């Protein structure tokens, strides 16, 4: 059947056009197979690919290194068995064996490097493989140069082909690196041939021809392997991205499901949370109420004891006076004074602890010499130490030890620690009771150590002793051993001072060491804490007779008791029960007062600040002012005059010392605080 002409034209193949296209495609494919693959655009991605490529073919490269060693050993065996029988090779036989052995040593070394964990990295694996490749090529070229013809070509030059097979195929090097190594080897052969003629011309050109073909074929294989590896890495990366997106979608879907479930249970959760919060608040309130009740019960009990004794002593003194027994009445009044001191000390301790734990106390930091604070504490407590038969010793460096702290509260802490060591001295021991107070400094910190050889503290009580009213070995609550608040105040003071801490080391029956540590400071360049400028013990002997004071106190009982005390000290005074009375007094006085004694908070919203400012205005100059108050120290603002502050209750001795210090121009340090 005949086919139409136009149909025949359409269906008939066009050999010339198809041949050209196929030839062009083949040429392009050849160029592509011989072109070095481009690296990934991002340097980080390229580095990641190289590391992945090295890890992927790490095991195969190790096996190839072992195979290369096996092949080299086989050639050594061949040279040994057949080379020693050849008369031509006899003169260089030992040199050939030496080069073969050197190759074994090289490949053993390279093989050992491939077994290391670092061989899995790209840089290390490439460095190790190229060491083996260049080493083997060098040894083979030496064998070619050393052996006579035609053995140098037929036995040793052909070994370069095997090296190229490993280089392009087995080791999976980057095509650029493998080609570079081949070009270097090729150039070395040409250079050796030109310089020392290692081969005959026929063998040289024949060898280069075959070697060139091996390089071209091997390069194509290497390029194809690298391209496949790169495409696989890119595909795995893309698949990983898709997997991550799928996982993200699944996570979002799961999150939406969880949000749906959470929204259903939200009301129930909120209700349970509110109930739990209410329960916690109730428990916290009950705990706080219980702790407060326990504190008040203990405080009330300890408060009643000296108060009860004070009432009995005063009543007994009244009875003695009724019977004209003045000597006994004086003794009983002294005893009542002792009870009053215990009562005042207890009230001050309770108030201090309450203020510290309430958070109302704001530390007032100054730079001062820590040795001065320790000396003042020791001077204050020496009578107590003598009464208990305790040897109080000081161990301090000669140079000043400057610290930045609150001089008042740090001093209180030192006094409490030393007092605690004195009161718990063990009189039953043969050794003399000793309390050592030492100052130890390092490069950045300093430490106050209070060491005693007293009764010691059992480890189970180390935490309890810092709780209020807890005392070791004082079940009968003997006041001579303190009130049980000293260490509680120390702990509260340390908690409010920056970078201060307290440490305890103790052995029951042998003694204790309390260490108060704080950061050291350089020499003071600015404001420093006011410290005593002389001994305070001699202030009690300063005469007060004839001094003239203005007393401002709105409490009639406190004013009357203060007036009675000033009369006994031989002082002259005018007293006022209000700010208005004080103002009237200033208009009528005929003598400039030596000092003003005032309460801090008066009626009609007046304070000691107003008293001090009015006094400076009316008198024409500033006047020493002593504030005796029950207000927390943190609420007292600075006054416009020379001033000191005493917290009620104040003992007569402390009041006398402070008056004497103001008159003589000295500060009593810890017994009075500047506002």
Range scoring the smallest mean pLDDT among 229-238, 324-333, 388-397, 556-565: 324-333
pLDDT at 499 over 80: yes
pLDDT grade for 113, boundaries at 50, 70 and 90: very high
Mean pLDDT of the chain, nearest integer: 80
Q: CA distances (Å), 260 to each of 247, 256, 268, 402, 453, in order? A: 20, 6, 14, 64, 69
Give the residue with greater pLDDT, 539 vs 211: 211
pLDDT for the residue numbered 505? 85
Helix axes of 201-322 and 326-358: crossing angle, nearest 10 degrees: 150
Tens-place pLDDT, residues 591-602: 889 889 998 888
What was the pLDDT predicted at 299? 55
pLDDT at 597: 92
Token pair 């136009």: residue: 6
Q: Is 385 or 642 the better-scoring residue by pLDDT?
A: 385
* Planar angle of CA 660, 663, 664, nearest 5 degrees: 85
Predicted confidence band at 354 (pLDDT cuts at 50, 70, 90)?
low
Kindly tell me if the per-residue pLDDT of 508 is higher than 70.
yes
Which strands, in side-by-side order, build the sheet including 501-507?
Answer: 391-395, 434-441, 445-452, 511-519, 501-507
Q: Which segment of 61-75, 234-248, 307-321, 381-395 scores lowest on mean pLDDT?
A: 307-321
* pLDDT tens-digit map of 123-170: 999 999 999 999 999 999 999 988 888 888 888 898 898 899 888 888
Q: Residue 669: pLDDT above 50?
A: no
How far is 51 from 63, CA to CA, in rounded Å?
Answer: 19
pLDDT at 295: 58
The pLDDT value given to residue 135: 92
Looking at per-residue confidence, does 673 or 488 come out higher?
488
pLDDT of residue 484: 63
Delimit the domains of the chain by residue range.
Answer: 34-232, 366-519, 543-671
Q: pLDDT value at position 503?
A: 87
Residue 112: pLDDT band (50, 70, 90) is very high
Q: How far apart are CA 282 and CA 276, in angstroms?
A: 10
pLDDT level of residue 670 (50, 70, 90 thresholds)? very low
Per-residue model confidence (pLDDT) at position 342: 61
Q: Domain 543-671 sits in which CATH superfamily?
A: Response regulator (3.40.50.2300)
Please give the structure tokens belonging to residue 43: 């340097």
What is the model's pLDDT at position 668?
43
pLDDT at residue 115, as a whole number: 92
Closest CA to 454 of 392, 410, 502, 516: 392
Residue 11: the pLDDT is 44
Band of residue 660 on the pLDDT scale cut at 50, 70, 90: confident
Residue 346: per-residue pLDDT: 58
Mean of pLDDT values over 436-445: 87
If pLDDT is split at 50, 70 and 90, which confidence band does 20 have?
Answer: confident
Q: Is the pLDDT of residue 12 over 80?
A: no
Cβ neighbors of 236 (< 8 A, separation 6 or more) are none
Which region among 32-41, 125-134, 324-333, 635-644 has the lowest average model confidence (pLDDT)?
635-644
- CATH number (3.40.50.620, 3.40.50.1820, 3.30.565.10, 3.10.129.10) of 366-519 reads 3.30.565.10
Q: Compare 298 and 659 and report the one with higher pLDDT.
A: 659
Torsion angle of C-alpha atoms 92, 94, 98, 103, degrees rounded to 10? 60
Cα-flanking dihedrals φ and ψ of residue 403, to 5°? -130, 160
The larger pLDDT score, comparing residue 296 to residue 306, is at 306
More confident residue, 1 or 307: 307
E-state strands within 364-401: 366-369, 391-395
Query: Looking at residues 550-556, what average pLDDT do you find?
Result: 89
Phi, psi of 154 (to 5 degrees): -70, -30
Q: Is the pLDDT of residue 475 over 60?
A: no
Find, among 116, 104, 55, the residue nearest to 75 by Cα: 104
Q: Sorting pLDDT into bands at 50, 70 and 90, what band is 294?
A: low
pLDDT digits (tens, 9 = 90+) for 68-82: 999 999 989 988 888
Model confidence at 83: pLDDT above 50: yes
Model confidence over 515-530: pLDDT tens digits? Answer: 889 888 766 644 444 4
Sheet strands side by side (includes 595-598): 572-576, 548-552, 595-598, 625-629, 643-647
Cα–Cα distance between 625 and 632 in angstroms, integer?
18
Q: Which residue has the higher pLDDT, 185 or 539?
A: 185
The region of weakest confidence among 80-94, 173-187, 418-432, 443-457 is 418-432
Span 466-481, average pLDDT? 56
The region of weakest confidence among 167-176, 316-325, 399-408, 566-575 is 316-325
Question: Is residue 302 pLDDT above 70, yes or no?
Answer: no
| pLDDT value for 63 | 92
Rounded Cα gap, residues 596 and 573, in angstroms: 10
Residue 3: the pLDDT is 40
Owner of token pair 């991002």: 42
């Amino acid at each position: 059947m005949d086919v139409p002409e136009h149909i025949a034209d359409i269906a008939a193949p066009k050999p010339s056009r198809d041949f050209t296209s196929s030839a062009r495609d083949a040429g392009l494919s050849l160029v592509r197979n011989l072109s070095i693959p481009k690296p990934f655009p991002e340097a980080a991605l390229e580095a990641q690919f190289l590391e992945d490529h090295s890890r992927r073919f790490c095991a195969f490269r190790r096996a190839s290194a072992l195979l290369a060693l096996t092949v080299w050993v086989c050639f050594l065996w061949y040279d040994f068995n057949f080379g020693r029988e050849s008369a031509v090779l006899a003169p260089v036989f030992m040199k050939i064996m030496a080069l073969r052995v050197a190759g074994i040593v090289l490949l053993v070394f390279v093989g050992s490097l491939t077994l290391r964990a670092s061989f899995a990295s790209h840089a290390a694996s490439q460095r190790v493989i190229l060491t083996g490749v260049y080493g083997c090529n060098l040894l083979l070229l030496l064998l070619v140069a050393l052996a006579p013809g035609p053995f140098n070509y037929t036995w040793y030059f052909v070994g370069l082909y095997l090296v190229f097979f490993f280089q392009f195929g087995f080791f999976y090097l980057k095509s650029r690196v493998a080609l570079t190594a081949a070009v270097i080897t090729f150039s070395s052969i040409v250079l050796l041939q030109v310089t020392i003629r290692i081969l005959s011309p026929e063998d040289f050109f024949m060898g280069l021809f075959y070697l060139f073909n091996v390089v071209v074929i091997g390069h194509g294989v290497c390029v194809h392997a690298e391209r496949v590896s790169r495409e696989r890495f890119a595909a795995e990366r893309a698949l990983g991205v898709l997997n991550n997106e799928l996982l993200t979608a699944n996570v979002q879907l799961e999150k939406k499901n969880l949000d749906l479930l959470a929204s259903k249970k939200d009301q129930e959760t909120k209700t349970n949370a509110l109930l739990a919060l209410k329960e916690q608040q109730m428990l916290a309130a009950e705990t706080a109420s219980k702790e407060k009740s326990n504190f008040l019960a203990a405080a009330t009990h300890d408060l009643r004891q000296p108060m009860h004794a004070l009432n009995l002593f005063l009543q007994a003194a009244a009875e003695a006076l009724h019977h004209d027994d003045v000597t006994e009445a004086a003794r009983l009044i002294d005893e009542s004074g002792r009870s009053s001191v215990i009562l005042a000390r207890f009230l001050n301790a309770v108030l201090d602890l309450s203020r510290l734990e309430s958070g109302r106390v704001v530390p007032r930091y100054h730079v001062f010499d820590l040795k001065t604070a320790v000396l003042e504490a020791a001077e204050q407590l020496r009578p107590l130490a003598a009464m208990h038969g305790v040897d109080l010793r000081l161990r301090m460096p000669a140079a000043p030890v400057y610290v930045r702290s609150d001089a008042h509260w740090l001093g209180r802490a030192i006094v409490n620690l030393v007092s605690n060591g004195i009161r718990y001295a063990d009189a039953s021991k043969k050794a003399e009771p000793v309390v050592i107070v030492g100052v130890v400094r390092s490069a950045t910190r300093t430490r106050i150590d209070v060491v005693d050889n007293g009764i010691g503290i059992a480890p189970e009580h180390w935490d309890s002793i810092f709780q209020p009213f807890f005392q070791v070995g004082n079940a009968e609550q003997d006041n001579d051993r303190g009130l049980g608040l000293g260490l509680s105040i120390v702990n509260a003071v340390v908690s409010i001072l920056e970078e201060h801490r307290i440490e305890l080391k103790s052995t029951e029956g042998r003694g204790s060491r309390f260490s108060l540590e704080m950061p050291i400071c350089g020499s003071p360049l600015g404001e420093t804490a006011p410290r005593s400028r002389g001994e305070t013990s001699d202030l009690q002997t300063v005469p007060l007779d004839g001094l003239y004071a203005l007393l401002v106190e709105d409490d009639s009982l406190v004013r009357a008791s203060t007036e009675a005390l000033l009369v006994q000290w031989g002082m002259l005074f005018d007293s006022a029960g209000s700010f208005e009375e004080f103002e009237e007094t200033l208009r009528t006085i005929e003598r400039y007062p030596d000092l003003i004694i005032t309460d801090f908070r008066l009626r009609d919203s007046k304070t000691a600040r107003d008293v001090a400012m009015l006094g400076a205005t009316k008198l024409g100059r500033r006047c020493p002012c002593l504030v005796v108050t029950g207000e927390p120290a943190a609420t007292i603002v600075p006054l416009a005059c020379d001033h000191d502050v005493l917290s009620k209750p104040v003992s007569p001795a402390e009041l006398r010392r402070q008056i004497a210090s103001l008159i003589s121009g000295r500060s009593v340090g810890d017994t009075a605080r500047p506002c």
